[in-house]
Structure 1
């Protein structure tokens, strides 16, 4: 993979952690971080930002971006991310870890967006989605995603399948659901709502809030 792709991927991951830090959700557990990555990737197009990755493995324990683990570990080695509560289950061959962002990581995000204007738009979108998750953290729970999320809950994809919302099939059901919420709000308000409003309502819906029961 080209160096620019690697750098952009790491900027994206670092910005997600930065958004979670702003939302008061860091350090974040590994599985929860994958769920937030999933929400950011599926919702980012609502902000006219292309997703970093349009495919994800559907696991019973939540979305899994296995290939991104290597990048996160590299960010830790570069002192841009921090590791907390690291444990390893030798019987299950599974590790448990929480990730945070360091002051150097936050400074790097600020320098990057100051130098490259398009990154500012990406940062704003990711921070907005992270804040919506911070308001409704249950939106990332595997049970809620399996039951309620437009992409994740469909029986078209079984466990261990790769969910595609833009690579082989140009269909992102989660994005369409948020667009529908936006259209409903626009008809009531007589104007188009800001992007963060339907996104916040969608994460509230995933959390099992009032909008999920109507």
Structure 2
């Protein structure tokens, strides 16, 4: 059996889940897309509360009727014998409340508004005329996620400069030594290390405004312009 993310956490790209797949990680998409475990056709799936604004440290494992799992924690008979230990009742209740709230937000079109803001951001960056690679721009994606690369401008440098300007973005993945490596996701998609190491992910939230998006675009493009000027002067 194989496993697959419904939506990738770095690029936001939504993947087609083959019917009958063994396991589907729905964590990133849960609450942002109109989806259902039953629709997915997966035998098992998972989701996490914190992605919905719920409490950290609580998630759910969804099982197709008749599908069983071997307990990894033994002792009591909690959760129908699948996981021993006293349940985190407060966390579970918080997860339920967050899921109900997320369903209302989705039905009210709040994520559709965020998708429009993401498109405004990408249009502003692409319209600058500066070298830019938009990852997955022509594919189905999460409404709040944008991943793009500025060739030659290292992702970790972008993260630091945006942090100093008051914006939190992410780049690549950290290994055990604390060094930032080129994104293995982008490398698996066929991008070389030069591109994969220069990509960042920008995520928008339900409270993000158009003014904030435009401000980010202005600050990022100005910083990128300074980088290109220094590069040309070498």
**Normalized against structure 2, the TM-score is what?**
0.25
Larger helix percent: 1
RCO comparison, higher one (Cα < 8 Å, 6+)? 1
**TM-score normalised over the length of structure 1:** 0.27
Structure index of larger Rg = 2
